[in-house]
């Protein structure tokens, strides 16, 4: 069974296209990444799934039922949601806010809520403070707790790790894995490829409102692109340096900048034949990864 199904989903805001002809399915119990740069249509899609906006055309289903104004309230209570732009009731305390939000879902397992608070490093003293005194990171933590505290069957998260420090982010990833093991479906939007690769099994990639592809993370990793900066001992060495899988090579004296995808063992073997005086390797941005992905797809189809 699929927790989410969308078919030709389209939303126009006047003449502006939010998304167009987007179709994908999210199997129950999976962690699904919704990937794309800011403005690609991720939030619009999420708002349609939550029935916060209605599509211009196309259909969407949650738990096998079409999303309409008459969508059953009992099923709506099985959804947890963290918006990308979190708005809080500033005068409430942290615990007051969690209790208020919990009432929308019925009975809350307070022991589980306490576990979430501990895992996300929110101390009891933090919960007694008004939300207006919270830092950005603390606001994000309290938003995550409110989304998960009722142990929903479907968890929809829009850029969930914004503002979290690395340790809390790592623990949050562990929480997602635990939820998936228990049968919860996680639908997570992000513009952070490394994050999606770490926690998701499958990803949908959006660009300018259109779905480019739906792929397994394994397939996406196969075309992962890196930017290399290599400084060799001499300009002559830089002139002779070649690397399988490289493109967009630029040279400035003895310094090379190039995009590359391939096997790291082969990379280090090639570098070992030269005197390397400086080296850096960074993951290319999403635009470069999209281009590399589609170039490789096109080559495979020829």
User: How is the chain split into domains, by residue range?
Assistant: 2-222, 226-283
Average pLDDT, the chain: 89
Distance CA 88, CA 105 (A): 18
Q: What is the CATH number of domain 2-222?
A: 3.40.50.300
Distance CA 108, CA 95 (A): 13
- Mean pLDDT (whole number) for 227-242: 94
- Mean pLDDT (whole number) for 3-30: 95
Per-residue pLDDT of 107-163, as tens digits, reads 889 999 999 999 999 999 999 999 999 999 999 999 999 999 999 999 999 999 988
From the CB of residue 88, how many other CB atoms can be counted at a distance below 10 Å?
Answer: 17
226-283 maps to CATH 3.30.70: yes
Q: How confident is the model at residue 169 (pLDDT cuts 50, 70, 90)?
A: very high
Max distance between CA atoms of the chain, in angstroms, equals 72
Per-residue pLDDT of 75-122, as tens digits, reads 999 999 999 888 899 999 999 999 999 998 888 899 999 999 999 999
Distance CA 71, CA 63 (A): 11
pLDDT tops 60 at residue 286: no
What are the residue ranges of helices labelled H in 200-285? 217-222, 235-240, 264-271
Distance CA 214, CA 202 (A): 7
């Amino acid at each position: 069974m699929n927790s989410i199904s969308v078919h030709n989903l389209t939303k126009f805001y006047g003449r502006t296209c939010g998304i167009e002809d987007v179709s994908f399915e999210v199997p129950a119990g999976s962690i699904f990444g919704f990937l794309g740069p800011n403005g690609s249509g991720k939030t619009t899609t999420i708002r349609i799934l939550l029935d916060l906006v209605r599509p211009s055309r196309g259909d969407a289903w949650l738990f096998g039922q079409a999303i309409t104004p008459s969508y059953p309230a009992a099923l709506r209570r099985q959804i947890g949601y963290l918006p990308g732009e979190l708005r809080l009731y500033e005068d409430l305390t942290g615990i007051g806010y969690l209790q208020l939000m919990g009432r929308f879902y019925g009975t809350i397992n307070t022991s589980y809520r306490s576990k979430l608070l501990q895992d996300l490093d929110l101390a009891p003293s933090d919960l007694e403070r008004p939300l207006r005194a919270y830092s950005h990171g603390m606001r994000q933590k309290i938003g995550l707790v409110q989304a998960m505290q009722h142990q929903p069957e479907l968890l929809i998260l829009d850029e969930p790790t914004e503002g979290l420090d690395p340790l809390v982010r790592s623990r949050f990833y562990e929480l997602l894995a635990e939820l998936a093991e228990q049968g919860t479906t996680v639908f997570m939007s992000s513009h952070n490829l490394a994050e999606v690769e770490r926690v998701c099994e499958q990803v949908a990639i959006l660009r300018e409102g259109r779905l480019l592809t739906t792929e397994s993370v394994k397939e996406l990793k196969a075309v992962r692109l890196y930017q290399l900066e290599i400084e060799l001992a001499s300009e002559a060495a830089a002139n002779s340096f070649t690397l399988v899988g490289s493109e967009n090579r630029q040279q400035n004296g003895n310094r090379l900048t190039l995009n590359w995808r391939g096997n790291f063992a082969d990379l280090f073997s090639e570098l070992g034949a030269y005197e390397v005086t400086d080296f850096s390797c960074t993951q290319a941005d999403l635009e470069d990864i999209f281009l590399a992905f589609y170039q490789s797809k096109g080559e495979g189809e020829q």
